[in-house]
């Protein structure tokens, strides 16, 4: 199948060709036609599948077909959970609309609102936004959502994980009842289905990859290791392999910082990316990583979500996630676009339960290796660490709507450590 057969305008085909895309990805093949027909779409797709173009291309087509008004009301709203994703989606919108007479803007918290407001004042057709800043600006009367024709909810599952349910409900009340809705989610939990039911009208359901399956192109391996030897082992693996671009996952922000410092002491350039980092520090880390000046990016699950890092050769789980689905998201960062990737997990005795949960979810046993000098501790307890238990934080009223285990985990993290250096009232405690 080619892009030509999807019914997109010449201006869009020109932009697609400029990007170098030749064939629509499976999610694009499935999502673009029903969106063009004006239908609501509920899509199961994660980052890396080409989902952004899957909703952006037909959205731009529809907006450019309809006559524009001199006064440009915002006609399409794309809501994303994180700033990074908002920035990436916006970059795509701009690229794909290069040959169209459409204007767009992006807004998110943690940065001065003035330039964002100035851009909106000039008149825009498409707004990409995170919920917190959107509600802030709306409540200040600086933007209106009354003329929205197309509403896109990107990474809806992560939205719920981050406690945005109430914000989404508030935003839905601000947009017209008659509108086209597109909702994208990597997973389909009960909460997601409920949310979809409340937002979408008779949606066409499309799926890019079967739920909870790991990409075949990824070599997965487990290194059994004593907890205290993990840092030494990861440094050895990266140094011996002379790996140049490695994404490392830790469970906590603190753990990410600590590991990052140890890497730097071992002469491996590294940066951490998580919610306590300022926007400029996160952008700098990501740019350095993409350019190759930073070899190792240490990230927490939430911060890594939505990052567009093409063709990543190595992903290492310094700690296994306690939510099995997160493992699938993490390793989905490698082996993209047909390239072979490697996903390694350093597993200590106390993570045995998590490993079992992951193997059950992906329905395969992961091969295990033990490296001499970095053996597991035969006397260590296989009980999960205490801090992983006793879930169920006490704050965040925002989380009340999605009582799943992920939400509880984030609550727990949030209540332990408050986000620093962030003036955005709404997003302050949600960025990991």
Q: What tokens does 114 get? A: 């003035």
* Residue 357 makes contact with ligand AMP by CB under 6 A: no
- Closest approach of Cβ 25 to ligand AMP, in Å? 5
- Closest approach of Cβ 5 to ligand AMP, in Å? 13
- Closest approach of Cβ 88 to ligand AMP, in Å? 7
Closer to ligand AMP by Cβ: residue 20 or 378: 20
Using CB under 6 A, which of 29, 52, 399, 429 touches ligand AMP? 52
Using CB under 6 A, which of 12, 25, 248, 348 touches ligand AMP? 25
Instruction: Tell how many helices (H) and how many strands (E) occur in the chain.
Output: 16, 14
Report the distance separating Cα 193 and Cα 241, nearest Å.
Answer: 43
Closer to ligand AMP by Cβ: residue 23 or 389: 23
Sequence-distant (6+) residues with CB within 8 A of 37 are none
Report the distance separating Cα 295 and Cα 356, nearest Å.
Answer: 31
DSSP at 389: S
* Residue 50 makes contact with ligand AMP by CB under 6 A: yes
* Residue 1 makes contact with ligand AMP by CB under 6 A: no
* Residue 158 makes contact with ligand AMP by CB under 6 A: no
Answer for the pair 354, 328: CB distance below 8 angstroms, yes or no: no
Residue 65 CB-half CA count within 13 A: 15
Sequence-distant (6+) residues with CB within 8 A of 339 are 217, 311, 313
**Which range binds ligand AMP by CB under 6 A, 22-30, 113-121, 278-286, 324-332?**
22-30
The contact mask relative to ligand AMP for 294-313 (x = CB under 6 A, - = no) is --------------x-x---
Report the distance separating Cα 340 and Cα 192, nearest Å.
Answer: 31
- Closest approach of Cβ 28 to ligand AMP, in Å? 6
Closest by CA to 250, choosing from 393, 432, 99, is: 432
* Residue 385 makes contact with ligand AMP by CB under 6 A: no
Using CB under 6 A, which of 44, 49, 181, 427 touches ligand AMP? 49
Three-class SS of 145-184: CCCCCEEEECCHHHHHHCCCHHHHHHHHHHCCCCCEEEEE
Q: Compute how many residues bind ligand AMP; rule: CB under 6 A.
A: 14
- Closest approach of Cβ 275 to ligand AMP, in Å? 21
Binding site residues, ligand AMP, CB under 6 A = 21, 23-25, 28, 47-53, 308, 310
């Amino acid at each position: 199948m080619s892009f030509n057969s999807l019914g997109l305008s010449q201006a869009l085909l020109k932009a697609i060709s400029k990007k170098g895309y030749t064939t629509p990805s499976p999610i694009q093949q499935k999502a673009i036609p029903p969106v063009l027909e004006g239908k609501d779409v509920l899509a199961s797709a994660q980052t890396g599948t080409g989902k952004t173009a899957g909703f952006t291309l037909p959205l731009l087509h529809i907006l450019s077909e309809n006559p524009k008004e001199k006064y440009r009301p915002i006609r399409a709203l794309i809501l994303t959970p994180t700033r990074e994703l908002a920035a990436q989606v916006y970059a795509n919108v701009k690229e794909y609309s290069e040959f169209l007479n459409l204007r767009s803007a992006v807004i998110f918290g943690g940065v001065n609102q003035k330039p964002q407001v100035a851009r909106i004042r000039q008149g825009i057709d498409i707004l990409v936004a995170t919920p917190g800043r959107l509600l802030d600006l709306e409540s200040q009367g600086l933007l209106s959502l009354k003329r929205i024709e197309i509403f896109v909810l990107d990474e809806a599952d992560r939205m719920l994980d981050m406690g945005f349910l109430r914000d989404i409900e508030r935003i839905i009340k601000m947009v017209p009842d008659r509108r086209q809705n597109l909702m994208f989610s990597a997973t389909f939990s009960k909460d997601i289905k409920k949310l979809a039911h409340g937002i979408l009208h008779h949606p066409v359901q499309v799926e890019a990859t079967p739920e909870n399956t790991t990409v075949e192109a990824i070599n997965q391996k487990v290194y059994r290791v004593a907890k205290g030897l993990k840092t030494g082992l990861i440094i050895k693996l990266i140094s011996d392999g002379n790996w140049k671009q490695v994404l490392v996952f830790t469970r906590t922000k603190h753990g990410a910082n600590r590991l990052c410092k140890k890497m730097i002491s071992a002469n491996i350039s590294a940066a951490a990316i998580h919610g306590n980092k300022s926007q400029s520090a996160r952008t700098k880390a990501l740019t350095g990583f993409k350019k190759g000046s930073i070899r190792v990016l240490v990230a927490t699950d939430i911060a890594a979500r939505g990052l567009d890092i093409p063709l990543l050769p190595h992903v290492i789980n310094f700690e296994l996630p306690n939510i099995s689905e997160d493992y699938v998201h993490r390793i989905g960062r490698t082996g993209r676009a047909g390239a072979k990737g490697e996903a390694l997990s350093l597993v200590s005795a106390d993570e045995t339960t998590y490993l079992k949960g992951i193997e059950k979810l992906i329905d395969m046993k992961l091969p295990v290796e033990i490296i001499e000098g970095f053996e597991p501790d035969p006397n260590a307890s296989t009980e999960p660490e205490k801090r992983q238990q006793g879930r169920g934080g006490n704050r965040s009223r925002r989380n009340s709507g999605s009582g799943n285990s992920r939400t509880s985990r984030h609550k727990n993290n949030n209540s332990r450590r408050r986000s620093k250096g962030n003036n955005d009232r709404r997003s302050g405690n949600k960025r990991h």
